[in-house]
Structure 1
Amino acid sequence: MPSTPASTRGRIGVLLVNLGTPDSPRTPDVRRYLNEFLTDGRVIDMPAAVRYPLFQGIVVPLRAPKSAKIYQQLWDERGSPLLYHGLDLQKLVQEKLGPDYLVAFGMRYQNPSIESALQQLRDAAVERIIVLPLFPQYAAASTGSVQEKVMDIVGKWWVVPAINFIGTFADDPGFISSFAALGKAEMARRDYDHVVFSYHGIPERHVLKGSHNGHCKLGSCCNHYNKNNRYCYRAQCFVTSRLLADALGLAPEQYTVAFQSRLQSRLRDPWLQPYTDEVLKEMPAKGIKNVLAFSPAFVADCLETTIEVGEEFKEMFEAAGGNHWQLVPSLNAQPQWADAVVDLVKRH
Structure 2
Amino acid sequence: MHVQKHFGKQGILLVNLGTPDAPTPVAVNRYLGQFLTDPRVIDNLPYPVQQGLVRGIIAPIRSGIVNPFKAGGSTKLYQELWTENGSPLKYYGEILTDAVAEQMGDEFVVRLAMRYQNPSIESALKELMDEGVSSITIFPLFPQYASATTGSVHEEVMRLLMKEQNIPNVNFVNSYYEHPDLIKVFADNARDLGSLDQWDHIIFSYHGLPQRQLKKADPSNCHCYADGTNSCCNSISKVNQFCYSAQCAATTRAIVEELGLEEGSYTTCFQSRLGFDDWAKPYTIDVIEDLAKNKGAKKVLCFSPAFVADCLETTIEIGLEYQEEFEEWGGEHIQLVPSLNGDPRWINAVVEMLREETGVAIAR
Name the counterpart of 1:50: 49
Report the Cα offset of residue 302 of structure 1.
Answer: 0.6
Separation in 1, partners of 2:238, 2:309: 28
Amino acid at match of 1:10: G
- Relative to 1, partners in 2 of residues 1:68 and 1:134: Cα closer, same or farther, differing over 3 Å? same
Name the counterpart of 2:218: 211
- Is contact 1:215–1:228 with CA below 8 Å preserved after alignment? no
Name the counterpart of 1:38: 36
Amino acid at match of 2:344: P
- Is contact 2:214–2:224 with CA below 8 Å preserved after alignment? no
Q: Taking every aligned residue pair, what percent have the same amino acid on both sides? A: 49
Separation in 1, partners of 2:236, 2:252: 12
- Is contact 2:301–2:337 with CA below 8 Å preserved after alignment? yes
Match of 1:347 among 323, 346, 356: 356
Report the Cα offset of residue 245 of structure 1.
Answer: 1.0
Name the counterpart of 1:18: 16
- Relative to 1, partners in 2 of residues 1:3 and 1:281: Cα closer, same or farther, differing over 3 Å? closer
Name the counterpart of 1:261: 272
Amino acid at match of 1:306: T
Match of 1:141 among 148, 154, 167: 148
- Relative to 1, partners in 2 of residues 1:4 and 1:295: Cα closer, same or farther, differing over 3 Å? closer
Report the Cα offset of residue 215 of structure 1.
Answer: 5.3
* Residue 239 (1) aligns with residue 250 (2): yes
Name the counterpart of 1:69: 76
Separation in 1, partners of 2:2, 2:86: 50
Report the Cα offset of residue 303 of structure 1.
Answer: 0.8
Please give the TM-score of this superposition, normalised by the length of structure 1: 0.95
Name the counterpart of 2:66: none
Match of 1:336 among 324, 338, 345: 345
Q: Match of 2:268, SS?
A: strand
User: 5+ residue gaps in structure 1?
Assistant: none
TM alignment of 1:130-279, pairs within 5 A: 130-188=137-195, 191-214=198-221, 216-218=223-225, 219-264=230-275, 268-279=276-287
- Structure 1 runs (4+) greater than 6 angstroms displaced: 1-5
- Is contact 1:216–1:222 with CA below 8 Å preserved after alignment? no
Match of 1:301 among 276, 301, 310: 310
- Is contact 2:19–2:87 with CA below 8 Å preserved after alignment? yes
Q: Match of 2:193, SS?
A: helix
Separation in 2, partners of 1:80, 1:113: 15
Match of 2:104 among 97, 100, 125: 97
Aligned residues: 343
Amino acid at match of 1:293: C
Separation in 2, partners of 1:292, 1:225: 26
Name the counterpart of 2:334: 325
Separation in 2, partners of 1:312, 1:60: 21
- Is contact 1:215–1:229 with CA below 8 Å preserved after alignment? no
Report the Cα offset of residue 213 of structure 1.
Answer: 2.2
Separation in 2, partners of 1:240, 1:9: 38
- Is contact 2:204–2:302 with CA below 8 Å preserved after alignment? yes
- Relative to 1, partners in 2 of residues 1:57 and 1:2: Cα closer, same or farther, differing over 3 Å? closer
| Greater helix content | 1
- Relative to 1, partners in 2 of residues 1:4 and 1:152: Cα closer, same or farther, differing over 3 Å? closer
Q: Match of 2:132, SS?
A: coil
